[in-house]
Amino acid sequence: MTAELSPIDRAKSVAAYRAAEMVEEGMRVGLGTGSTAAWLVRRLGERVRDEDLRIKGVPTSTATAQLAREVGIEVVSLDQAGWLDVTIDGADEFDGELNLIKGGGAALLQEKIVATASDQMIVIADAGKEVEALGAFPLPVEVIPFGWQTTRTLIEELLDTMDVLGTSATLRMNNEAPTVTDEGNHILDLHLQRIGNPRQLALVLNQIPGVVENGLFIDICDKVVIGHGDGRVELRDFNSGTIELDRLGDEHDNLFSDLAD
């Protein structure tokens, strides 16, 4: 017997299912990282198996690459694929202009590279990820290990001049050791509470020596698919200004119920 999906998992699953329908034969698809993106990868694997869908997947992390191979998706590198048709990924926060905070899964660098190498980026998220202003979720910043404490000091000094409510930065840990990204770097989480000018902050953070990339995705996302716990799905297209509403049935619970978050 399969366990009934929780409301949050059902929201993720219906968003992933709806986004997976946008993938067409022969596409080169950027595959995001994180719990919500994992639902998408599983659903695309179902389509590859059941519909003989042929796509090339460009993963944004080693974890996503492993999952994609497990479900039968052909995995290629970004260099092999060249330009991508679409990237589908989750987000830790998104606002009304589809600006994002990403990096909760420590894959923000590869995620941003892949997303910007795509004709369009589609974000899949549960409704709780939508905010009026970015910043409640700590903003990840990827930094090189050498001199990371100096980099943190420079960041905190910069934050004193920015339109934010908090200015502290903490090193993300994995048990007793610093978190290490796929590129061998560390993550500083900025506890800002609210970001008044995301575009400005994204630009100035990357000017600090030691900073590799930050988790603010500005003018990158084109569409967002928002899932709800009752099966409702909302598709917002920022470029056209359109909103589509749909509802997916209970059969999708069974499709995804074996996926552990």
Binding residues for substrate: 33-36, 89-92, 102-105, 129
Known binding-site residue numbers: 33-36, 89-92, 102-105, 129
Long-range CB contact pairs, 42-49, < 8 A, 24+: 42/16, 42/67, 42/71, 42/256, 42/259, 43/16, 43/17, 43/255, 43/256, 44/20, 44/68, 44/71, 44/73, 45/70, 45/71, 45/72, 45/73, 46/71, 46/255, 47/20, 47/23, 48/72, 48/73
First-to-last alpha carbon distance for the chain, in angstroms, is 18
Active-site position among 25, 51, 97, 111: 111
Q: Residue 128 gets which letter from DSSP? A: G
**Tokens 């970001």 -> residue:** 195
Name residue 213's beta-bridge partners.
142
E strands within the chain? 28-31, 56-59, 74-75, 86-89, 93-94, 100-101, 121-126, 139-143, 168-171, 173-174, 177-178, 186-191, 211-214, 216-217, 223-227, 232-237, 242-247
- Residue 111 a catalytic site member: yes
Q: Which residues are catalytic?
A: 111
